[in-house]
């Protein structure tokens, strides 16, 4: 290739996971050939080999496709899959002609070099080389060399001699097989793990190229075991392809820090050029049959075509009058603009920045991490007030002024949760569809206006209407917090940050109690004390809504308080969550998956129990305290310590869950025990021991810890943005339903102990302990099962799955945080 100017590759999009193998057909017409790509998204693709234009996708595999090959005339395709099968396809119709069942993962397939092959070779983790007769409808097979391979077969190549096959295995051996003898006729050991083993497409001299460890090996494929030469490089190689006519070969790196395509001189064994384009290891490389381009397949889920000839070729040209111009160095041509536009709509909003991570060394990124975390903490940790204003108001004259005696007060408390229940699922859908900070800020604004409107309430009906609308608008706040925390913080950081959010609710409780106490001393003929409480808290939130809209970013990608490099670092930080950042596209299958997911149902049941407890305690703690013999104004003051308990206990739980890995479920179960003891104390302690009863009541405010820990179980263990949005919505539906139940199990006739309510709350705490134990056991079992089937330590693959919007069920390298 005489040109010295770096070429811009054509990028073929379409795959959502890594591409472990690509293969060209022979020339079908004078200048026509095809390329097939295997992919771990289960869907191999056929493309025009010259332009990269998509032709079709072969649908049917239920596991990663490790290798794909075309027959010489591209009439047939063969694929090897992790679903324990190989398939043979008609490339014209896309129909699967044969499904060949195996007893383990199939890693390799090969056709003989014939236009209409009647046999197929397969191999894989069975460590068996099988030959299938495709002329029979049942495609019977026989095994060659039983017991010879001591490692899984990674690649099979059929030489120009139809009776000779070459295999490359995990035992670091390249073996030549004679089909007539059904035995090996030669072998060669290589140093390092075999990355690729391919026969060059550009000539008939039969040179076999093997990438293993740091070396590229070149064999005479027709002379068993005959090594022409090996070239040792400074790099760990995943792939190599030879162009013998140009006496050059290309290599691809095998680790995340080496994503370059390198061109080498075959004779002088020196590196000629380095091409950048991929953002992950390059698992496969191959020259086209005419030798004018080569293709690479990568961990980043793309196939790239690189021009390897001088002058215009394929899409690297355009016409101006009668003259053709080479544009290979001008820009990257577009392949199927409509397909790319559609893909962009479904693309994770952090994916582009994640690709830029490769521009920086790991040391640079690590240096910036703490700075970025500090900046995020200073901006993303706002204070918000909860719905406790009704509880403070009840300590004064709200009940008699509006005729809320008896069960009417219960319904005023409960109607809020009916509004919450009504809007929980739509709120989570809208949070996924719209910029989260703009939507949430608008909800806070409307919520504050409604709080102020409570001043105008004149009767029971008016208060019911206002409380229903208030519940609708607040239904967006907590899911938005979950969404924001998952976008900006790592798995280990999330428990503490979420708990700090709720701890600020404890601060709000203390401030609100002091406000209520202070305003309780204000007397005016024009406004009641309870009206003043609603007005002041509403105005505070009105001001805060504009601060929120101004400061809060929608995602790390749009955080104005971070530099561009710091945004890249922010994306790199949360990439380990394995869930990406956010996509706006609604995926129906993900929503259905969430509805039937066992762990989602378990966490939702915890939400139901938390709701019952919260609905009772938050709305009736004043009633409990007054029942113990305290006046209205002191009842408000006695709620001050509850905020302190929430402020200190909840972050401690979050700190422990973040510091000790896989302890979320354990901590959730343990933190249920103190309030459970408190409920037993309220039930059994004599009324004369009123300060003991007060202490037992204060313990109920620890319920914030199970709430936040269940939120964190959702944000860390549910992948797929629509699935997570649906799961969050389910949790809040159950939570709101629990709040409704909790507000209506406190019967006025049972005051001051409310025995029915206490029994219900005790049952809820016991249920949470059991569910947390079951959930931890189930997720632990799933992690062990996945480690056995797919291997441990696949963090990079899990990250890419997250940015591809795969669910935790689809992404086999996803691991649950217990």
Same domain, 251 and 369: no
Same domain, 392 and 526: yes
What beta strand segments (E) does 382-449 contain? Answer: none
3-state secondary structure of 196: strand
**Which of 284, 313, 345 lies at the terminal end of a domain, its last residue?**
345
C-alpha closest to that of 166 among 212, 85, 225, 80: 225
With contact defined as beta carbons under 8 Å apart, do 416 and 447 qualify?
no
On whether residue 55 sits in a domain, the answer given is yes
Same domain, 273 and 373: no
Low-confidence ranges of the chain (pLDDT < 70): 1-7, 201-205, 317-362, 382-407, 409-410, 413, 503-526, 529-530, 578-584, 619-640, 643, 748, 752, 791-804
The pLDDT of residue 276 = 83
The pLDDT of residue 196 = 94
Same domain, 253 and 162: yes
Same domain, 638 and 530: yes
- What would the two tokens of residue 438 be? 């703009």
The pLDDT of residue 197 = 94
CA atoms within 13 A on the CB side of 169: 25
Same domain, 365 and 301: no
Could you give the angle at the alpha carbon of 439 between the alpha carbons of 581 and 351, nearest 5°? 15
On whether residue 412 sits in a domain, the answer given is yes
Q: Return d(Cα 619, Cα 387) in angstroms, integer.
A: 9
With contact defined as beta carbons under 8 Å apart, do 470 and 450 qualify?
yes
Same domain, 302 and 394: no
Residue 150 sits in a domain whose CATH number is 2.130.10.10
Same domain, 292 and 237: yes
| Helix pair angle (598-627, 690-698), 10° resolution | 150
On whether residue 171 sits in a domain, the answer given is yes
Same domain, 67 and 149: yes
Interacting residues of 611 by C-beta distance below 8 A, sequence separation 6+: 417, 734, 735, 736, 737, 738, 739, 740, 741, 742
C-alpha closest to that of 107 among 61, 68, 71: 68
Q: Please, what is the end-to-end C-alpha distance for the chain in angstroms? A: 55
On whether residue 301 sits in a domain, the answer given is yes
- 10 Å Cβ neighbour count for 759? 13
3-state secondary structure of 197: strand
DSSP state of 53: -
What beta strand segments (E) does 289-404 contain? Answer: 293-298, 303-307, 317-320, 323-326
Exposure string for 595-630, b = 16+ CB within 10 A, e = fewer? eebebbbbbbbbbbbbbbbbbbbbbbbbbbbbbbeb
- In Å, how far are 289, 354, 438, 568, 800 from 432, measured between CA atoms? 47, 20, 12, 22, 20
Instruction: Say how many domains are in the chain.
Output: 2
Task: Burial-class residue 631 by CB neighbours within 10 Å (0-12, 13-18, 19+).
Answer: exposed
- What would the two tokens of residue 419 be? 């509004």
Same domain, 494 and 363: yes
Domain that holds residue 605: 359-563+587-803
Q: Report the predicted TM-score, pTM, of the whole model to 2 decimal places.
A: 0.57
**Which of 345, 374, 391 lies at the terminal end of a domain, its last residue?**
345
The pLDDT of residue 781 = 92
- In Å, how far are 60, 114, 132, 236, 556 from 141, measured between CA atoms? 22, 19, 4, 36, 54
Residue 776 sits in a domain whose CATH number is 1.20.1250.20
On whether residue 295 sits in a domain, the answer given is yes
Q: Return d(Cα 235, Cα 688) in angstroms, integer.
A: 79
Interacting residues of 47 by C-beta distance below 8 A, sequence separation 6+: 12, 34, 35, 36, 37, 53, 54, 55, 303
On whether residue 813 sits in a domain, the answer given is no
pLDDT digits (tens, 9 = 90+) for 774-794: 999 999 999 888 887 776 654
On whether residue 810 sits in a domain, the answer given is no
DSSP state of 302: -
Same domain, 370 and 333: no
Helix-strand-coil percent breakdown of the chain, rounded to 5?
Answer: 45, 20, 35
User: Side by side, which strands form the sheet with 96-101?
Assistant: 65-70, 76-81, 85-90, 96-101
**Which of 294, 322, 345 lies at the terminal end of a domain, its last residue?**
345
Q: Return d(Cα 335, Cα 406) in angstroms, integer.
A: 70
Same domain, 281 and 213: yes
On whether residue 552 sits in a domain, the answer given is yes
């Amino acid at each position: 290739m005489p040109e010295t100017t770096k070429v811009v590759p054509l990028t073929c999009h379409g795959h959502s996971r890594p591409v472990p193998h690509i293969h060209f057909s022979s020339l079908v017409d004078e200048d026509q050939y095809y390329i097939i790509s295997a992919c771990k998204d289960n869907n191999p693709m056929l493309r025009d080999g010259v332009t990269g234009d998509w032709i079709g996708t072969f649908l049917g595999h239920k596991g990663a496709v490790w290798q794909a090959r075309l027959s010489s005339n591209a009439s047939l395709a063969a694929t090897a899959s992790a679903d324990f099968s190989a398939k043979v396809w008609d490339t014209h119709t896309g129909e699967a002609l044969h499904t060949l069942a195996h007893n383990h993962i199939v890693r390799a397939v090969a056709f003989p070099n014939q236009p209409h092959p009647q046999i197929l070779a397969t191999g894989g983790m069975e460590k068996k080389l099988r030959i299938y007769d495709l002329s029979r409808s049942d495609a019977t097979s026989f095994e060659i060399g039983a017991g010879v391979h001591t490692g899984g077969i990674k690649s099979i190549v059929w030489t120009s001699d139809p009776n000779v096959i070459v295999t490359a295995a995990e035992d670091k051996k390249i073996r030549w097989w004679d089909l007539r003898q059904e035995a090996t006729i030669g072998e060669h050991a290589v140093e390092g793990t075999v990355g690729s083993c391919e026969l060059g497409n550009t000539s008939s001299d039969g040179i076999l190229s093997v990438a293993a460890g740091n070396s590229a090996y070149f064999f005479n494929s027709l002379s068993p075991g005959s090594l022409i030469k090996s070239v040792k490089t400074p790099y760990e190689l995943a792939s190599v392809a030879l162009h013998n006519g140009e006496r050059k070969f290309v290599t691809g790196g095998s680790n995340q820090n080496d994503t370059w395509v390198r061109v080498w001189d075959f004779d002088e064994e020196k590196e000629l050029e380095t091409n950048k384009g991929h953002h992950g290891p390059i698992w496969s490389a191959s020259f086209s049959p005419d030798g004018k381009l080569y293709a690479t397949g990568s961990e980043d889920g793309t196939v790239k075509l690189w021009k390897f000839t001088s002058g215009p070729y394929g899409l690297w040209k355009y016409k101006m009058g009668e003259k053709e111009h080479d544009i290979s160095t001008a820009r990257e041509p577009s392949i199927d603009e409509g397909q790319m536009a559609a893909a962009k709509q479904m693309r994770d909003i952090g994916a582009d920045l994640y690709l830029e991570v490769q521009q920086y060394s790991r040391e640079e990124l690590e240096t910036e991490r703490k700075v970025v975390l500090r900046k995020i903490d200073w901006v993303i940790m706002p204070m918000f007030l909860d719905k406790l204003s009704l509880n403070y108001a009840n300590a004064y004259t709200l009940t008699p002024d509006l005729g809320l005696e008896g069960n009417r007060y219960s319904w005023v408390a409960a109607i809020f949760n009916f509004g919450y229940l009504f809007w929980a699922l739509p709120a989570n859908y809208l949070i996924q569809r719209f910029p989260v900070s703009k939507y949430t800020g608008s909800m806070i604004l409307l919520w504050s206006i409604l709080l102020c409107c409570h001043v105008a309430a004149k009767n029971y009906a008016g208060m019911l209407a206002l409380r229903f609308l208030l519940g609708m608008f607040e239904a967006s706040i907590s899911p938005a917090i979950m969404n924001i925390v998952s976008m900006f913080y790592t798995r280990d950081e999330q428990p503490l940050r979420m708990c700090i959010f709720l701890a600020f609710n404890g601060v709000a409780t203390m401030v609100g109690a002091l406000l209520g106490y202070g305003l309780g001393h204000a007397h005016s003929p024009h406004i009641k004390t309870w009206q003043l409480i609603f007005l002041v808290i509403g105005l505070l939130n009105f001001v805060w809504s504009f601060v929120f809209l101004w400061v809060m970013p929608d995602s790390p990608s749009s955080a104005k308080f971070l530099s561009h490099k710091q945004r890249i670092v922010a994306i790199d930080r949360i990439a380990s969550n394995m869930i990406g950042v956010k996509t706006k596209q609604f995926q129906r299958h993900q929503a259905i998956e969430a509805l039937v997911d066992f762990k989602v149902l378990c966490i939702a049941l915890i939400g139901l129990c938390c709701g019952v407890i919260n609905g009772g305690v938050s709305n009736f703690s004043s009633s409990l305290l007054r029942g113990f013999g305290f006046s209205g104004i002191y009842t408000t003051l006695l709620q001050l310590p509850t905020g302190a308990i929430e402020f200190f206990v909840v972050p401690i739980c979050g700190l422990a869950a973040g510091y000790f890995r896989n302890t979320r479920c354990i901590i959730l179960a343990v933190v249920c025990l103190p309030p459970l003891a408190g409920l037993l104390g309220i039930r059994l302690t004599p009324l004369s021991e009123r300060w003991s009863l007060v202490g037992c009541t204060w313990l109920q405010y620890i319920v914030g810890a199970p709430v936040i820990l269940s939120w964190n179980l959702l944000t860390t263990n549910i992948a797929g943005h629509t699935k997570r949005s649906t799961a969050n919505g389910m949790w809040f539906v159950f939570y709101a339903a629990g709040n409704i139940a909790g507000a209506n199990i406190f019967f006025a006739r049972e005051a001051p102990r409310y025995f029915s309510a206490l029994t219900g709350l005790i049952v809820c705490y016991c249920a949470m302990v059991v569910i947390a134990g079951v959930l931890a056991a189930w997720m632990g079992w799933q992690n062990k099962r996945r480690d056995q089937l797919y291997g441990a330590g696949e963090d990079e693959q899990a990250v890419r799955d997250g940015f591809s919007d795969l669910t935790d069920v689809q992404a086999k390298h996803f691991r649950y945080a217990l």
